[in-house]
A = this chain, B = another copy of it.
Amino acid sequence: MMPEDPTRILVDTVQKLQRRGHKRNLQNLLDKTRPADIAILLRHIPEPEEQLRLFRVIEEVDKKAEVLSEMAPTVLPGFLGALSDDALVPLLEEMPGDDTADILEFVSEERKSALLRKMSREEMTEAQDLLQYDPETAGGIMVPDFFALSEELTCDLAIQALRDVHDELEMVFYAYVTNAHGHLVGVLSLREVVTAPPDTPLRDVMETEVTRVRTSDDQETVARLVARYNLLALPVVDDNNCLVGIVTVDDVIDVIREEATEDMFRMAGAGDATFGFDTGSIFASTRSRLPWLFASWIGGVLAGGIIQGYEERLLQVAALAAFIPVIIGMAGNVGTQSLTVVTRGLALGQINTHQIVKVVGRELAVGVFCGFIYGALLGVAGAVLISFQGGDINPMRFGLAVGLALCTGMLIAAAVGAAVPMLLHRLSIDPAVATGPFVTTSVDILGVLVYFNLATVLLGL
C-alpha cells in the first residue's frame, strides 16, 4: 500500500475547516503551507468561487502572487474569470515578469489590455516586452531581472552591488559581465566573486566562453543545454548579443517535465497534454483525442476493405480470420517499440538524423529477431490448429503462411516505426506528433496485405 497522500490530508483538513467556518485555524494552516502546495490544493477544489474564497484567506500579497504563478493551466481560466481586475493587478505586478506574461496568455485580448493599462508603467513595459515572444521559446521563459556587471568593476564593488539589489532579483547564481555596449562578454559564479581577491577587476577572473541562447531559440534547446552542462541559469541575448534575460534552472525543470509529458501524450495520440489531468472538461479532452483516433479508424477500415477483397479465400479457409488479430497486433507493438526508442533518442539528442541508415538498420535487426522467434511459435500453433481441424489444407503450408506473415509484418513495422520519426525530425516536424497513429495505421494495412497474399500463394487459393 502507498503511504497516505499528504495532499489529500491537506485538502480534507482545509475543507473541514472551511465547512465549520474556523477562519482563524484556516488562516494559520495556510500561513504554514507553501505556495506550491496551496496551488495544488486549489486544483482539488471544484468551483472557482470556492477556490477564490480560500485564496482570499492568504494574507500577504507576495504569497498570493506565488500561489497564482504556480497554479495549473487547467484551473487558471476559471479562477482568473472569478478574480476581479483590481484584485489581479497587484498580483501581476508582484510576480516575476515571465510569470506575469504567462498568466496574461490565459485572459482575453480585451482584458489583457485593460490589465496592462492598470499596471505600473515599469511592470507593464516588462510584461509587454515578454509577451512579444512565443511562450515556448527562450524569450518566453526568461526573466528580464538578471545580475549584470561591467567588466571594469572590482570584486568587492561587485559584492557591494549584490547587497544593493538584494530583494529585487529572483535567484542569483551567476554574475554576468557586459562591456560598454551591453554585449555579454563573461560570466562568474557568485561564489567566485565572493572568494576572489577583493580588488581584482571582474575582467581578470571571469570565464569568457559563455553558453548562451537567443530569444527565439526553442525551449527544448534551452533545456538540453542546461541539462548537458549542468547549468543553474542560462543567459538569453538578442540578435545583437545584448543580454536581455536569463532562464533559471527551476523553469527548465518545468520545461523538461512538460516536454516529456507532451511527447508521451502525442505518441499515444492522446492530444493536448493540458487536458491530461483536467478533471473538469470532458468535452475538451474528447475533442483533443478525436483527430488521432481518426487515423486509426481509417487504417482499420482500409484494412477491412482489403480483407473484404479476399472474401472468397476467407470462405475457403475460415481459420485465416483467426490469425488477423495476432498479426496486426504484434506488428503494431513492435512498431510502437521502435517508434518510442527512436523518438526519445531524438528528443534527448542521443541520435541525430544523419544516422538514419544505422538506426533503421538496427531496429530492423531487432525486428528480424523478434519476428523470427514469434513467427516460428505462431507457425507451429497454426499448423497444429489446422491439422486438428482436418480438411484439405496442408498444415505445414498453413503454418508457414501465418508464421511468415507475422515475421514480415513485424519487420515492416520496425522499419516504419524507426524511419518515420527520423524523416519527420529531418523535416523539422516534431516526431512525437501523430507518429503513433500513423505507424499503427500503415502497419495495419501492410500487415493484412502481406498476410492474405502469403496465404494465397502458399495455400494455392
Q: Using a CB–CB distance below 8 Å, which chain A residues touch chain B?
A: 1-2, 5, 7-8, 32, 34, 36-37, 40, 43, 72, 159, 162-163, 166, 171-173, 190-191, 194-195, 209, 226-232, 249-250, 252-254, 256-257, 260-261, 263-265, 267-271, 273, 276-277, 279, 282-283, 285-286, 289-290, 292-294, 296-297, 299-301, 303-305, 307-308, 311, 314-315, 318-319, 321-330, 332-334, 336-337, 339-341, 344-345, 348-355, 358-359, 362, 365-366, 369-370, 373-374, 377-378, 381, 385, 425-428, 436-437, 440, 444, 448
B264 touches A330 (CB 8 A): no
From known contacts A260-B257, A303-B325, infer whether A354 and B8 are also in contact, taking CB-CB under 8 Å.
yes
| Distance, CA A214 to CA B308, complexed state (A) | 62
Are B308 and A322 in touch, CB under 8 angstroms?
yes
Q: Which of B290, B305, B307, B314 is in CB contact (< 8 Å) with A370?
A: B290
Task: Give Cα distance in the complex from A354 to B227, angstroms.
Answer: 35
- With contact pairs A8-B352, A36-B229, A249-B249 given, residues A286 and B333 touching in the complex (Cβ less than 8 Å): no
A195 and B162: CB pair below 8 A? yes
Provide the residues of chain B in CB contact with A282, threshold 8 Å.
Answer: 362, 365-366, 369
**Nearest B-chain residue to A209, judged by Cβ:** B32
Q: Is the interface of A mostly helix, strand, loop or mixed?
A: helix
Copies of this chain in its oligomeric complex:
2
Q: CB-CB < 8 A to A230: which residues of B?
A: 36, 250, 253
User: How many Å lie between the Cα of A256 and that of B341 in the bound state?
Assistant: 17
Give the residue of B273, B290, B321, B340 whose beta carbon is less than 8 angstroms from that of A373.
B290
CB <8 Å contact, A319 and B325? no
Contacts of A8 in B (CB 8 A): 352, 354
Residue of B whose beta carbon sits closest to that of A252: B253
How far does the alpha carbon of A365 sit from the alpha carbon of B282 in the complex, in Å? 7
Closest B residue by C-beta to A448: B325
Q: How far is the CB of A156 from chain B (nearest CB, A)?
A: 12
| Further 10 A-B residue pairs, CB within 8 A, beyond A289-B337, A308-B322, A328-B329 | A1-B427, A40-B349, A159-B194, A265-B341, A271-B337, A277-B350, A285-B366, A290-B370, A324-B325, A325-B448
